[in-house]
Structure 1
């Protein structure tokens, strides 16, 4: 009994120590973070709410300005703001849930799941390309007059897609990145097609209820939503109300509302791999696009699934990864940032639409630098024991936390590319890595052979053939010719199979027992085929 009591007392003391240490950490950083946001509010007339978190704890949250100017009602940390394009990560997460359940495949096309969509385009564009803004479909929110006219009209979802998101392709799908709200509208329609439920119902059942996001939902300007902020435009003469939009026109791309607290809870659940598997989070936070510097200048960033991925410099360490997204809509601005390695969260939500992404990112960086001074590993004496232990024991990190330019696992990289865009994407990934790191892969024959067989097991016969053909060109060997011949024979391509058996025989030295057996087997197969 005494041992049991000592254990309980020790456990309570440890808990009290952790709590005290966290309180000390908060006391160190809170005044500095507050100074950053107070200056932001004074210099930029910032109106909204902010939150800063470390690991699963909130270090700082505060509200500024007015939620409703007519009634002089102040913003609070429980005020609901439109999330605008921050909404995209929720849509991406639902897509990945359906992928994990076997309902969707990322390398399948729009036409496979949304038969009402125009077929000539729908057959060319994959879900992966929609998620990564590489579809080539025109961005409907960039069309002339759409913001001043069309987005305020009440369209059915089908009318909206047909009228605004079904234009001719602007470029070959997968060939370039162009930020695109049409893609996420189409993804929301695919979700509805597959689940046979409205998007708002799917969001409620799959995200809001399981995660306990009580203050997050699909926005509807006609509904009475308690504690929702009014949206304002800042003019030279002060502020004015913005016109009420028909928010369903932005379904999947920017029609959610939420609070800073709920958004923090969302980030903890997502990056804590409690909603999606580690593999799915890895997919979501892997940058697929070319580098661009326009979104958060001057920092390089690329796009994953519903999230931007950037390399950000923090004091006294190499550039670190940041998963983020901004949001802008008439009357609202927002910024969500999560640092996977450091476990920092910075959230900014405003009920004015004029706060630029670049400015919000600079504020986010100021806050991250404050946190880093206190919590970085080289200042571990100031960090909590919990933080230090977790950082040492945490072996698994999101891909966003790695230096992806140094990703050298060819087989893994090709597998991820295949999952996202099929065999052609895998072949492109092969050539990209071989060009970038020509001396890192002295023997690709075994890798390509294994990969081809894995595609065959996944019943992607065409993909297996394509990779086997790539292997025979990259590694002209009797083994690669034989493997390709067998696959062609299984596919019913007898003439082609015969040609590769002949090539295998012509280059086979026929010396060792293995070579002799292969030589004889190829001759036997050739006799059957001819």
Structure 2
């Protein structure tokens, strides 16, 4: 009798789960197919338990050539790159090659400013360092406040080069290979056949944006695809990249590392990852902006759900909330299903 009850319970759970997925798919399709002056142009991938149950590619990778976006299309992923850089740093921690409390001068002795003796790797990872330029004094005492930027992650890429003895592009590409990410790479030293062009809308007119490849790549210039970022989530959150204690350290909010985000509301920062306050269930996420590219990668640990949204049209670079319209609406749909 007990076995029968357990069997029926499992069947009911499976049925409810399938019904919830179908509802989510219908809501997403309704959003993406709705008439709009700015139709969705990119990819959406949604997975649960490591299995993709929804993927959609829409619009053009290259408007001039009328080349359609596909599941293999590659995008510059903006600040999602920081999460990958953070993992490379933390893998060096797991190997005993660095310590998070170490001052960065230990690894970058060429830095001339005195702050290199007080700013630590932890400060770089959490944007609490106070660095505004390599040749200027700090804007504030390290650890005392948050200031988002790119320079710290460029310094982190140099540190892992020093500790590992390998180039940062090689480290990125080896990590992607380990995760089975065939459409992801550091931009340096390769040719592109699947990379989307980036565009922006100005007064309703679409214009091509320059691709600043390999400029602060560690902070915002890495390249990936929708399904590859789901593979990334499965590896990272599935315990395949970091020791368990290190992973817990990565996803834990850090002191004085928080800010208000245009899409996610108030967010705490871990190492290369954010923890939104307003979600009703635990949520780990990253958004990204690059010239002509708007990205989001969200993960819900309770249900092991990934939502990846990549677009190659920035609707409004002056008011980013407008550019994240589809990302925000898709996030609301997925949150409601958790």
TM bracket, shorter-chain basis? 0.7 to 0.9
CA deviation map 1:134-162 (0-9, x unaligned): 00001xxxxxxxxxxxxxxxxxxxxxxxx
Indicate the residue corresponding to 1:323 in structure 2.
284
Residues 79, 259 of structure 1: 8 Å contact kept = yes
Report the CA distance between 1:249 and its aligned residue.
2.1
SS of residue paired to 1:253 = helix
Residues 111, 117 of structure 1: 8 Å contact kept = yes
Indicate the residue corresponding to 2:88 in structure 1.
94
CA deviation map 1:8-67 (0-9, x unaligned): xxxxxxxx999998766543432122223334x836432111111222121211012111
SS of residue paired to 1:135 = coil
SS of residue paired to 1:326 = strand
Pairs aligned (count): 324
Residues 218, 256 of structure 1: 8 Å contact kept = yes
Matches for 1:252-263 after TM superposition, within 5 Å: 252-263=218-229
Indicate the residue corresponding to 1:244 in structure 2.
211
Indicate the residue corresponding to 2:131 in structure 1.
137
Q: State the TM-score, normalizing by the size of structure 2.
A: 0.88
CA distance in 2, matches of 1:251, 1:359: 25
> Using a 3 Å threshold, how does the CA distance of structure 1 residues 227 and 104 change in structure 2: closer, same or farther?
same
SS of residue paired to 2:229 = helix
SS of residue paired to 2:151 = helix
Indicate the residue corresponding to 2:120 in structure 1.
126
Report the CA distance between 1:197 and its aligned residue.
1.7
Report the CA distance between 1:84 and its aligned residue.
1.0
Indicate the residue corresponding to 2:25 in structure 1.
30
Check if 1:167 corresponds to 2:162: no
Check if 1:46 corresponds to 2:40: yes
Check if 1:285 corresponds to 2:244: no
* Higher relative helix content: 1
Q: State the TM-score, normalizing by the size of structure 1.
A: 0.57
> Using a 3 Å threshold, how does the CA distance of structure 1 residues 360 and 305 change in structure 2: closer, same or farther?
farther
CA distance in 1, matches of 2:248, 2:111: 30
Indicate the residue corresponding to 1:199 in structure 2.
168
Report the CA distance between 1:237 and its aligned residue.
4.7
Report the CA distance between 1:242 and its aligned residue.
1.3
Check if 1:218 corresponds to 2:186: yes
Runs of at least 5 residues in structure 2 that lack an aligned partner in the other structure: 1-10
> Using a 3 Å threshold, how does the CA distance of structure 1 residues 103 and 119 change in structure 2: closer, same or farther?
farther
CA distance in 2, matches of 1:167, 1:215: 38
Match of 1:187 among 146, 156, 160: 156
Matches for 1:387-426 after TM superposition, within 5 Å: none
Residues 296, 361 of structure 1: 8 Å contact kept = no
Q: CA RMSD in A?
A: 2.5
CA distance in 1, matches of 2:82, 2:97: 20
Higher relative contact order (CA 8 A, sep 6+): 2
Matches for 1:67-78 after TM superposition, within 5 Å: 67-78=61-72
Indicate the residue corresponding to 2:5 in structure 1.
none
Runs of at least 5 residues in structure 1 that lack an aligned partner in the other structure: 1-15, 139-163, 314-318, 373-530
CA distance in 1, matches of 2:85, 2:111: 19
CA deviation map 1:168-220 (0-9, x unaligned): 21111111000021100000011111122210011122x11111111000124
> Using a 3 Å threshold, how does the CA distance of structure 1 residues 233 and 187 change in structure 2: closer, same or farther?
same
Report the CA distance between 1:113 and its aligned residue.
1.0
SS of residue paired to 1:249 = coil
Indicate the residue corresponding to 2:199 in structure 1.
232
Check if 1:333 corresponds to 2:300: no
Structure number with greater Rg is 1
Indicate the residue corresponding to 1:115 in structure 2.
109
* Higher relative strand content: 2
Indicate the residue corresponding to 1:350 in structure 2.
311
> Using a 3 Å threshold, how does the CA distance of structure 1 residues 223 and 99 change in structure 2: closer, same or farther?
closer
